[in-house]
Amino acid sequence: MDLNTITEVVRPRNRAELPSWKAGDAWLAGGTWLFSEPQAQLSRLIDLSDLAWPPLTIGEHGLTVAATCSVAALDELPCPAEWTAAPLIDQCCRAFLASFKIWKTATVGGNLCMSLPAGPMISLLAALEGVCTIWKNDGSEQRIAVVDFVTGNNRNVLAPGDLLRQIDVPLAALKRRTAFRQIALTPVGRSGALLIGTAGRDGDLLLTVTGSTIRPLQLRFAAMPDAVALRAGISDIPDALYHDDVHGKPAWRKAMTLRLAEEIRAELAGVRP
Ligand SMILES: Cc1cc2nc3c(=O)[nH]c(=O)nc-3n(C[C@H](O)[C@H](O)[C@H](O)COP(=O)(O)OP(=O)(O)OC[C@H]3O[C@@H](n4cnc5c(N)ncnc54)[C@H](O)[C@@H]3O)c2cc1C
């Protein structure tokens, strides 16, 4: 939709050209959410596209995803054969309640910054132990784990004027074995629960819970837990953290979290649930 309160669109080409932040400003990434509903409080958009950040960079330490990388570009990344975790990219890109038209425009960073419980790029990059780099409004930089970046439903650590620059995914996380489970109330509905397990060579388990809770939660087990230990770990999640909206009641989300977590544990442990 047209945002008829916008009087100015700025297109900086580098950090030095970023304008001083003022009330009524918003970063514009893909705009798939920004243009989807009225934004009467906004008067200026700061378009990120001319910053021209390389969308995806594979280096010796892992993968760097620019905040402005589109979901479609991430989905098309030809991953090195040793990245056993690569199927998660495909699985999480398809976990959007959105068509390919949204994929082509929506950015990975926009998804993190929306900080919705059903944000699949949050699920992916939290499970892959990604680390965000934030360009702070005061000119400094902050690095923070993706799992800590999102603090609640539509809440995150960004202060006004802070800009998410990139997410770095360590190579070790990309080489872990993975298991993915997602459930929604309808066949292509918004995720009611989206859980990802990753296992290392030592048999440890990192379980990332998203979708069912208002923010991503991680459970780490030094060795593959049995069903009882896993259930106990999930039961420690406070009921208040389960999300409540038309896409699922908290009690159902909790039940699905327990069920999907056990499926993941069984898959990674190589046993039938
Ligand atoms: C049909 C449809 C289906 C959708 N399905 C889902 C879904 O299943 N799950 C889901 O989570 N979302 C969904 N969305 C919401 C939204 O499209 C996605 O979250 C998308 O990834 C947002 O990315 P964007 O680049 O379009 O963000 P924009 O709309 O450009 O921005 C979103 C917000 O993030 C801020 N922002 C963007 N980039 C940065 C940055 N680098 N640093 C700081 N702030 C920034 C913007 O100022 C704005 O407040 C859907 C939207 C539509 C229209």
Tell me the CATH number at 75.
3.30.465.10
Among residues 127, 147, 172, the one where a domain terminates is 172
Q: How far apart are CA 156 and CA 159, in angstroms?
A: 9
Q: pLDDT tens digit string along 31-90?
A: 999 999 999 999 999 999 999 999 999 999 999 999 999 999 999 999 999 999 999 999
Cα-to-centroid distance, 119 and ligand 1 (Å): 9
- Residues in the chain, overall count: 273
Atom of ligand 1 nearest to the CA of 26: 47
Among residues 139, 155, 172, the one where a domain terminates is 172
pTM over 0.95: yes
Domain shared by 165 and 190, yes or no: no
Domain shared by 132 and 31, yes or no: no
Is residue 51 within 8 Å of 12, Cβ to Cβ?
yes
Domain shared by 201 and 244, yes or no: yes
DSSP three-state, residue 135: strand
In a domain, 32, yes or no: yes
Cα-to-centroid distance, 36 and ligand 1 (Å): 10
Tell me the CATH number at 229.
3.30.390.50
In a domain, 216, yes or no: yes
In a domain, 234, yes or no: yes
Q: pLDDT tens digit string along 128-172?
A: 999 999 999 999 999 999 999 999 999 999 999 999 999 999 999
Q: Domain count of the chain?
A: 3
- Which amino acid does the sequence have at 202? D
Residue whose structure tokens are 């000119």: 139
Task: Name the residue range of residue 102's domain.
Answer: 56-172
Domain shared by 219 and 207, yes or no: yes
Atom of ligand 1 nearest to the CA of 33: 29
Is residue 114 within 8 Å of 33, Cβ to Cβ?
yes
SS percent in the chain: helix, strand, coil, step 5: 30, 25, 45
| Residue of 27, 104, 167, 243 to mutate, ligand 1, most atoms within 8 A of C-beta | 27
Domain shared by 222 and 258, yes or no: yes
Domain shared by 87 and 144, yes or no: yes
Indicate the pLDDT class of residue 273, thresholds 50, 70 and 90.
very low
In a domain, 1, yes or no: no
Domain shared by 167 and 179, yes or no: no
Q: Does 234 sit in the ligand 1 pocket, CB within 6 Å?
A: no
Q: Which residues contact 255 (CB under 8 A, 6 or more apart)?
A: none
Q: How far apart are CA 273 and CA 220, in angstroms?
A: 20
In a domain, 3, yes or no: no
- Which amino acid does the sequence have at 197? G
What is the H or E stretch that residue 153 is in? none
